[in-house]
């Protein structure tokens, strides 16, 4: 089993350094850069499990901290600092990747901040974006406003979303993805919430769902690296 290697990298002169965890299995065919959600850092169990599952499928990952989480502050950094951190993570990942294809994204806020950075200016070397629970709106405030910038992104995007996600009305998200056309693919976990947790009555365990997510991400990355075909579930 692959083990995560701790690294540190500089965001910029004003922000300083943050931590990262690189998990790179032998023969990896792609590297996924993962930003964490607003309330939990890169060591969150969900992200740890995702990284482990992807490593089993030949996908390397670089998880990293946003500065506020590094400093153990509850309030997230400004969008500018968050975007700068995304770009710095991509820069260091490119050096660590040894030429394998790069993808970027993250859990909830981490994915959205990656998309905002990519919409403003392409992320160097990144071939596609992966969103693990895209936060399209606040709970109870259904709106597609947070997804308006997605039309400015010109690389493929994979949305992995639970059908019970309180931060993304599924009907609205499907409409957003439809507008994005061939650049967007949506993989829906029926019965999953924002963290892909399943109710007992569903008959499916969280681990089974994680395996499905990892299968989809690995397959989609291979497809968008020109190495295979992905499957679709909408």
Residue 223 has pLDDT above 50, yes or no: yes
Q: Is the pLDDT of residue 116 over 60?
A: yes
Strand order in the sheet with 157-162: 5-12, 16-23, 59-64, 30-35, 102-107, 126-132, 157-162, 184-189
Q: Which residues contact 35 (CB under 8 A, 6 or more apart)?
A: 64, 66, 85, 86, 89, 105, 106, 107, 109, 110, 111, 113, 114
Q: Identify the structural domains of the chain with CATH numbers, from first to last.
A: 5-223 (3.40.50.1820)
Please check the confidence at residue 94 and state whether its pLDDT lies above 60: yes
The residue among 211 and 226 whose pLDDT is bigger is 211
Banded pLDDT at 234 (limits 50, 70, 90): very low
Element holding 11 (H helix, E strand):
strand 5-12
- Cα separation, 132 vs 178, in Å, equals 18
Indicate the length of the chain as a whole number. 234
Does the predicted TM-score (pTM) go above 0.85? yes
pLDDT at position 87: 98
């Amino acid at each position: 089993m692959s083990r995560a290697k701790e690294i540190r990298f500089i965001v910029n002169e004003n922000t300083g350094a943050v931590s990262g965890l690189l998990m790179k299995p032998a023969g990896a065919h792609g590297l996924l850069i993962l930003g964490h959600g607003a309330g939990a850092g890169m060591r969150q169990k969900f992200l740890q499990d995702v990284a482990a599952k992807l490593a089993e499928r030949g996908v390397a990952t670089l998880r990293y901290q946003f500065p506020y989480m590094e400093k153990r502050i509850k309030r997230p950094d400004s969008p500018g600092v968050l975007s700068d951190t995304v770009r710095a993570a991509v820069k260091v990942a490119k050096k660590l990747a040894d030429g394998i294809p790069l993808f970027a994204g993250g859990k909830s806020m981490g994915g959205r901040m990656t998309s905002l950075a990519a919409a403003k200016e392409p992320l160097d070397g990144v071939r596609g974006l992966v969103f693990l629970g895209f936060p399209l709106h606040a709970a109870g405030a259904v709106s597609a406003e947070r997804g308006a910038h997605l039309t400015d992104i010109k690389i493929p995007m994979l949305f992995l979303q639970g059908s019970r996600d309180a931060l993304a009305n599924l009907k609205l998200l499907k409409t957003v993805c439809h507008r994005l056309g061939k650049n967007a693919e949506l993989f829906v976990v029926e019965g999953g919430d924002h963290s892909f947790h399943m109710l007992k009555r569903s008959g499916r365990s969280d681990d089974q769902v994680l395996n499905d997510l990892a299968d989809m991400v690995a397959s989609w990355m291979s497809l968008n690296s020109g190495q295979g075909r992905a499957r679709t579930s909408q």
